Chain A
């Protein structure tokens, strides 16, 4: 280990911790509505409102390569079934805060939770 090594390690550590703190701060904003957006190939596949905590639903996401099942519960979402080889999207578990997302790279699926500050609902479909 030389001086330059320690400098590089410290620089990267400080940078990534700083980014993490920045994400945390920007994620703690209050939202009136939150909803999950399911995107395939960058196009919106479906939007689900997460305002109702008791709402429970299983959404199949069908792509050309295979099928994943998304479970909506307790005001959040979780991938409970994935046909992709690595199953990383299942390991990411349950998410319920705006800004969080689940990514399935083999199927090019992104599930993202977004918040809405305005009181009126514009584009949320059930």
Chain B
């Protein structure tokens, strides 16, 4: 439980810091997804259920701290879909897929989930036209996030409290 709350607070801080960074991408709405580092790491350390708790608590708190209420549904839609896909990729891929592959598929499906929620809210499926650009951005950020959590997991073992 303590570890889960540490993970929640870390991802919350990453989320807020990310909101302060200027968006370096051409595509409107594209983000780095720094908080996803924690989601990927937690998925490797604690498994699906605990990561689900971390994710939902993080999104709830992030809505209170950093963003407007309307972003809650986008985050939740994207986050849940991406977590389910990451879990599937991790388990089906087993030894053939590393953190990078898991986080790339998670990032891409995060975009897909958000676009689905967004098109339901504005009731216009045509905004899906942004999806390919966001997917390409998702590959880039996914690789970055995957490598980050790989390093994080590597150094986690030095803590000697909890091995994965």
By a beta-carbon cutoff of 8 Å, the part of chain A in contact with chain B is 1-5, 7-9, 12-13, 15-17, 19-20, 23, 39, 41-42, 85, 88-89, 91-92, 99-101, 103, 105-106, 108-110, 112
Contact = CB atoms under 8 A, between A and B. Distances in A.
A16 B29 contact: no
A41 B120 CA distance: 10
Interface of B: 28-29, 68, 70, 74, 89, 93, 95-98, 100-101, 104-105, 108, 118, 121-124, 126-127, 129-133, 135-136, 138-139, 143, 146
Contacts of A108: 121-122
Nearest to B123: A42
A101 B139 contact: no
Nearest to A108: B122
Contact of B104 (A2, A12, A100, A112): A12
Q: State the majority secondary structure of interface residues on B.
A: helix
A110 B127 contact: yes
Nearest to A37: B124
29 contacts: A2-B96, A2-B97, A2-B98, A3-B96, A4-B93, A5-B97, A5-B146, A8-B101, A8-B105, A9-B139, A16-B132, A16-B133, A16-B139, A17-B132, A19-B131, A23-B129, A39-B122, A41-B122, A41-B123, A42-B124, A88-B28, A91-B28, A103-B122, A105-B122, A109-B122, A110-B122, A110-B124, A110-B126, A112-B124
